[in-house]
Structure 1
Amino acid sequence: MARVTAPVTIVGCQGCGACLLTCPTHAIRPTPGGLLVRAQACTGCLECLEICPVDAIHVTGTDPCGGTR
């Protein structure tokens, strides 16, 4: 099975939870060390990036659909 990479990374999160509430697939999960983006669930919609008030979410450049969107 190929490793799937989420199209976003989270750096500098302040813990407001906006992305958790916005993600339509619930791909972002809280962990003791910060937030985790579950690559298998992330569709790359970037709604989390739009809602983040501190710009902590960044596009990695990987398209999970292989450029089919």
Structure 2
Amino acid sequence: MFNTVQSALAGAERVFEILDYEEETADLEDSLEKLKDPAGGVAFHLVSFQVKPSEVIALLERDRRR
């Protein structure tokens, strides 16, 4: 019974830690300024996929000026 109570108290403590957590907020203007000219990219590492011989697959590049 002691183990059950101890486990419940530990769980409650974790819940209260989450409830007490203050959300970090960023400066809105600074965030919007960064979104105007985003930099960076996406890299894929160790990615694979399978295509059935009867399927046609096309990879298209979107126009970046939009």
Shared topology, TM-score over 0.5? no
TM-score by length of 2: 0.19
More contact order relative to length (CA 8 Å, sep ≥ 6): 1
Report which of the two has the higher share of helix.
Answer: 2
TM-score by length of 1: 0.18
Q: State the structure with more CA Rg.
A: 2
Report which of the two has the higher share of strand.
Answer: 1
